[in-house]
Amino acid sequence: MDVFWLQLFNGISVSSILLLIALGLAVTFGQMNVINMAHGELIMVGAYATYMTQKLFQSYLPASWFSQYFLLSIAASFAAAFLIGLLLEKTLIRFLYGRPLDSLLATWGVGLVLQQLARSIFGAPNVGVKSPSWLEGGLSVTQGLVLPYKRLFILALVAVCLLAMFLYIYRTTAGRRMRAVMQNRDMAACLGISTRRVDSLTFAIGSGLAGIAGCALTLIGPIGPTIGTYYIVDAFMVVVLGGVGKLVGTVFGALGIGMTNTLFEYWTTASLGKVLVFLCIVAFLQWKPKGFVAMRTRSLD
């Protein structure tokens, strides 16, 4: 029975990680229709920002403060990815709106550039990030059922990010403007919204969310120049499966992929499990081409 609960928890945990990496993409791809292949590299930026924050704490602050570095690094990785996203939008993406294939190629190139840049700055081998001591260990429910604190922390982080995005999009003026621009750009412009500024901000926020994902991933995975490539496909799958344009769809997409993947992997093997998940996604998209939650608006026609 323990195995069942553990696998259930693992499924939810995998889903939460998928959701975190896809959340930024749900904004840049889902809302803005930019096929951002550099999304993975923005995750990498977040991971390296965490590494840098850790380095700074080790070098300049007393050792007793070290375990607190992780909270700051969440902010640092958001900021770093936000700024790079902003720069990217101002110099490149804004010339490519409405041209998905061009933006795909250009952002893929940007991804390669960022990878090589990381390799030049930090070296080709992986770097290590020491997890804060308060995230070591786990919550013992029963003898065989231990829920690692890191996984619980990531679950909480995802919930916070999701809530913050929800509040931003549906409860603030900036969010309302964003929705207006994404739904009908010309009308929004006529009403006096600076669409260019909204575009920049939206893209930067999506990038910043990728940064937070990178920060969280340092807890459980490798930190190197190519980590973005491991997550980019999953991120796109989540967004496409969930339905482009709706955040709630992304949540369902992540849950769907995370749970089925864990289930299949337990029944079969990791490789075969992945294949089965892909097959399920293909079949599902045949049945519902617009994903779980279809956006009903004329602008997407």
Partner 1 sequence: MRQTGTKIKKRHMGKGLLAAVSLALVLGGCGQNEPAAGSASPAASPAAGASSGESGDGIKVGILHSLSGTMAISEVSVKDAEMMAIDEINAKGGVLGKKLIPVVEDGASDWPTFAEKARKLLSEDKVATVFGGWTSASRKAMLPVFEELNGLLWYPVQYEGLESSPNIFYTGATTNQQIVPAVSWLLENRGKKMYLLGSDYVFPRTANKIIKAQLAAEGGELAGEEYTPLGHTDYTTIISKIKAAKPDIVFNTLNGDSNVAFFKQLKDAGISAADLTTLSVSVAEEEIRGIGADVLEGHLAAWNYYQTTDTPENKTFVEAYKAKYGADRVTADPIEAGYDAVYLWAAAVEKAGSTDVAAVKEAAKELEWDAPEGKVKIDGETQHLYKTVRIGEVQADGQFKEVWSSGEPVKPDPYLKTYAWASGLSSGS
Contacts with partner 1, residue ranges (CB under 8 A)? 3, 6-7, 10, 13-14, 17, 91-92, 94-99, 102, 105-106, 109-110, 112-113, 115-117, 119-120, 123-131, 137-138, 144, 146, 148-151, 184-187, 217, 219-227, 229-231, 262, 265-266, 269-271, 273-274, 299
Closer CB to partner 1, residue 32 or residue 219?
Answer: 219
Alpha helix ranges (H) inside the chain: 2-25, 39-60, 69-91, 100-122, 149-171, 173-183, 185-190, 195-217, 227-242, 247-267, 270-287
Identify which of residues 83 and 135 has a Cβ nearer to partner 1 in the complex: 135
- Is the CB of 106 or the CB of 244 nearer to partner 1? 106
Tell the residue number behind the tokens 């945990």, with chain if given.
13
Instruction: Find, among 17, 199, 186, the residue nearest to 90 by Cα.
Output: 199
Q: How far is the CB of 64 from partner 1 (least distance, A)?
A: 18
Rounded CA separation 74/70 (Å): 6
- Smallest gap from Cβ 155 to partner 1, in A, equals 13
Residue closer to partner 1, measured from CB, 9 or 293: 9
CB of 117 to partner 1, least distance (A): 6
Provide, rounded to whole angstroms, the least separation between the CB of residue 150 and partner 1. 5
How many angstroms separate the first and last alpha carbons of the chain? Answer: 48
| Smallest distance, partner 1 to C-beta of residue 265, A | 4
Name the residue nearer to partner 1 (CB basis): 83 or 105: 105
* Minimum CB distance to partner 1 smaller for 199 or for 241: 199
Residue number, 3 or 71, with CB nearest to partner 1:
3
Question: Cβ distance 291 to 256 under 8 Å?
Answer: no
Please tell me what DSSP assigns to residue 124.
S
Look up residue 77 and give its two tokens.
């990785």
Complete DSSP assignment for 167-218: HHHHHSHHHHHHHHHHH-HHHHHHTT--HHHHHHHHHHHHHHHHHHHHHHHT
Q: Which residue has the tokens 């930024």?
A: 24
Q: Decide if 34 contacts 97 (C-beta within 8 A).
A: yes
* Shortest spacing between CB 86 and partner 1, in angstroms: 16
Q: How near is the Cβ of 35 to partner 1 at its closest, in Å?
A: 13
